[in-house]
């Protein structure tokens, strides 16, 4: 499936130079799991736009308890990986098919020591699961829905504070879309100011 081309357009009245954060939520997430800021758009002034791509492919990498990082491996839905120890050391290798064709599984196949797993999309961190015990499994399932909101003081790749997460309430479904504009409106000051709204426009279906 081809990558989805999106274009953020600032048609808002915002005068605070708000940053726009885009992230995804892992469907199979535990209660206390936080989302990661996948993309942060900064300094996009009124009338400007910021094109970006939402690729279908993802990359996974692992970190062991010795602070070793594995190389990034390309992953699609339905892939399973395992962190094992071989003659060279801890390695991340493919391990067949995941439990569900909609998710990516990463197992901790080490006898000793926890691992953390990161998932990347378009080279940016999308989600992370930490402290997976030996025998445990990290499951990542993402729907083609992005969450978007106007924030401040947030960096790409960082976990989004739960308080901020609660306020980010716009989800855009990219299901079946080839390209679209994400238009931000609202904001500003004065009696006519409205809340920020994010809408999909100029949608081209795949």
Site residues (CB under 8 A) for other proteins? 1, 27, 56, 76-79, 93-94, 97, 101-102, 143-145, 169-177, 186, 194-200, 203, 205
C-alpha 150/C-alpha 126 separation (Å) is 18
User: Which of 115/184 has CB closer to other proteins?
Assistant: 184
Q: Which helix (H) or strand (E) holds 165?
A: helix 162-167
- Local structure of residue 177 (DSSP, 8 states): E
**SS3 at position 36:** strand
Residues in contact with 43: Cβ distance below 8 Å, sequence separation at least 6, in sequence order: 17
Q: CA-based Rg of the chain, rounded to a whole angstrom?
A: 19
Minimum Å distance from CB 27 to other proteins? 6
Report the candidate in 2, 14, 4 with the shortest Cα–Cα distance to residue 189.
Answer: 14
User: Which of 122/156 has CB closer to other proteins?
Assistant: 122
User: Which of 55/157 has CB closer to other proteins?
Assistant: 55
* Residues across the chain: 206
């Amino acid at each position: 499936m081809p990558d989805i081309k999106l274009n953020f357009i600032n048609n808002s009245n915002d005068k605070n130079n708000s940053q726009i954060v885009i992230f995804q939520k892992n469907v199979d997430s535990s209660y206390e799991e936080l989302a990661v800021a996948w993309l942060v758009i900064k300094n996009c002034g009124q009338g400007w736009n910021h094109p970006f791509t939402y690729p279908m492919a993802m990359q996974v990498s692992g970190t062991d308890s010795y602070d070793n990082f594995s190389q990034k491996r390309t992953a699609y839905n339905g892939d399973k990986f395992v962190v094992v120890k071989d003659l060279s050391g801890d390695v991340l290798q493919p391990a067949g098919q995941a439990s569900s064709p909609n998710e990516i599984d990463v197992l901790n196949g080490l006898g000793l020591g926890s691992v953390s797993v990161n998932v990347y999309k378009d080279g940016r961190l999308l989600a992370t699961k930490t402290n997976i015990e030996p025998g445990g499994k990290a499951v990542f399932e993402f729907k083609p829905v992005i969450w978007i909101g106007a924030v401040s003081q947030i960096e790409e790749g960082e976990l989004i504070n739960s308080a901020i997460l609660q306020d980010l309430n716009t989800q855009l479904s990219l299901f079946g879309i080839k390209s679209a504009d994400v238009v931000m409106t609202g904001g500003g000051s004065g009696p006519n100011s409205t809340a920020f709204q994010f809408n999909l426009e100029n949608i081209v279906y795949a």
